[in-house]
A and B are shown apart, each in its own frame.
Chain A
Amino acid sequence: MTSSGSSVNQTAGLPRRPAPGQLNNESTEGQDQNNAMRVLVIEDDRETAQFLQKSLKENGHTADLATDGEAGLSLAADGAYDVLIVDRMLPRLDGLSVIKSLRAQGNRTPVLILSALGEVDDRVKGLRAGGDDYLTKPYAYSELLARVEALGRRTAPEEQQTRYTVGDLILDRLSHRVTRSGEHILLQPREYRLLEYLMQHAGQVVTRTMLLEHVWDYHFDPQTNVIDVHVSRLRAKIDKNFDKPLLHTVRGAGYTIRDGPG
Chain B
Amino acid sequence: MTALVERVAKAASTTAFGLSAAAVAFFLFAAAIVVGFLFWQTNNLLTHQVLGVLTAEARILSSEMKVGGQAKLAETVGAMSRLQGAGLYYLADDSGAKIAGNLNRIPPELTDDPHGGVFSYQPAGDSTGASHLAVAIPVDLGPDNRLIVGRDIEDQRAFADSIRLAFLLGFGVLSILGLLGGLAVSRLILNRMDAITATSRSIMEGDLAQRIPTSGRGGELDALAQNLNQMLDRIEGLMNGLREVSDNIAHDLKTPLNRLRNAAEAALRDSRGAEAYREGLERTIEKSDELIKTFNALLLIARLEAGPLEESVETFDLGSFVEDVAELYTPATEEAGFALSIEAEKDVFVRANRQLIGQAVANLIDNAIKYSRGGEPGSTITVRAYRDTGRPAISVGDHGPGISADDRERALKRFVRLEASRTQPGTGLGLSLVAAVARLHHGEVRLTDNHPGLKVIVLLSARCLIASADAAPSDVRAGIAAQ
Nearest CB on B from A125, distance (A): 6
B197: Cβ under 8 A from any A Cβ: no
Size of interface on B: residues with Cβ below 8 Å to A: 36
Nearest CB on B from A77, distance (A): 28
**Which residue in A118, A218, A224, A230 is a CB contact (below 8 Å) of B366?**
A224
CB proximity to A under 8 Å, residues B383-431 = 426, 430
Nearest CB on B from A171, distance (A): 19
Q: Which residues of B lie under 8 Å from residue A229 when comparing CB positions?
A: 331-332, 335
Query: Does A224 contact B325, Cβ atoms closer than 8 Å?
Result: no
Q: Which residues of B lie under 8 Å from residue A216 when comparing CB positions?
A: 324, 328
**Which residue in B285, B324, B332, B359 is a CB contact (below 8 Å) of A220?**
B359
Query: Does B293 contact A221, Cβ atoms closer than 8 Å?
Result: yes
Query: Does B331 contact A233, Cβ atoms closer than 8 Å?
Result: yes
Query: Does A121 contact B312, Cβ atoms closer than 8 Å?
Result: yes
Known: A120-B312, A121-B312. A223 touches B355 (CB 8 A): no
Q: Which chain B residue has the least Cβ–Cβ distance from A128?
A: B311
Known: A223-B362, A223-B363, A229-B332. A118 touches B355 (CB 8 A): no
CB proximity to B under 8 Å, residues A162-221 = 189-190, 216, 218-221
Query: Does B312 contact A124, Cβ atoms closer than 8 Å?
Result: yes
Query: Does B335 contact A124, Cβ atoms closer than 8 Å?
Result: no
Q: Which residues of A lie under 8 Å from residue B366 when comparing CB positions?
A: 222-224
Q: Which residues of B lie under 8 Å from residue A219 when comparing CB positions?
A: 355
Q: Which residues of B lie under 8 Å from residue A14 when comparing CB positions?
A: none
B353: Cβ under 8 A from any A Cβ: yes
Q: Which residues of A lie under 8 Å from residue B358 when comparing CB positions?
A: 218, 220
A138: Cβ under 8 A from any B Cβ: yes
Query: Does A121 contact B328, Cβ atoms closer than 8 Å?
Result: no
Q: How far is the CA of A224 from the CA of B369 in the complex (A)?
A: 10
Query: Does B300 contact A222, Cβ atoms closer than 8 Å?
Result: no
B165: Cβ under 8 A from any A Cβ: no
Query: Does B359 contact A121, Cβ atoms closer than 8 Å?
Result: no
**Which residue in A120, A125, A223, A230 is a CB contact (below 8 Å) of B356?**
A120
Nearest CB on A from B337, distance (A): 13
Query: Does A118 contact B303, Cβ atoms closer than 8 Å?
Result: yes
CB proximity to A under 8 Å, residues B337-396 = 353, 355-356, 358-359, 362-363, 366, 369
- Report, nearest first, the 7 A-B pairs whose CB atoms are least far apart: A220-B359, A229-B331, A121-B311, A223-B366, A121-B312, A226-B332, A121-B309
A-B contact pairs, 22 of them (CB 8 A): A119-B296, A119-B355, A120-B304, A120-B312, A120-B353, A120-B356, A121-B310, A121-B311, A121-B312, A125-B311, A138-B288, A216-B324, A218-B328, A218-B355, A221-B362, A222-B366, A223-B362, A223-B363, A224-B332, A224-B366, A225-B332, A226-B332
